[in-house]
Amino acid sequence: MRATLNGTVIAEAEESDLVRIEGNWYFPPASVDFSLLETSPTPYTCPWKGACQYYSTVVDGETLADRAWTYPEPYPTAIERVGTDFSGYVAFWKEVQVA
């Protein structure tokens, strides 16, 4: 599967390596091109997953705020609930196409 924005691949991995949580595909960190992401200051803590780190996408000089996120250290109960350790896996939102 690929996460793309305006034809630029941000992440790519086999579907079997991804984790699906609440309708979102989470890519393993090694499959993500972090040169296309900038750390965002937006704070968020999910009640069941834990503290979230947002990223803005930067493609072709255009920055889109908070289009990617990860849970660097999800709660142990979240890992148990999901059934696998998804620490550091990255998901995408809105204009980023995942297919």
- The strand pair at 97-98 and 37-46 is best described as unpaired
- Tokens 């309708």 locate to 23
Residue-level pLDDT at 59 = 95
- Residues 53-90: tens digit of each pLDDT: 999 999 999 999 999 999 999 999 999 999 999 999 99
The answer to whether the pTM exceeds 0.85 is yes
For 96, phi and psi rounded to 5 degrees?
Answer: -75, 120
Q: Tell me, what CATH number does 63's domain have? A: 2.170.150.40
Distance from C-alpha of 9 to C-alpha of 11, rounded to nearest angstrom: 6
Print the domain residue range for 18.
2-98
Split into its structural domains, the chain has a count of 1
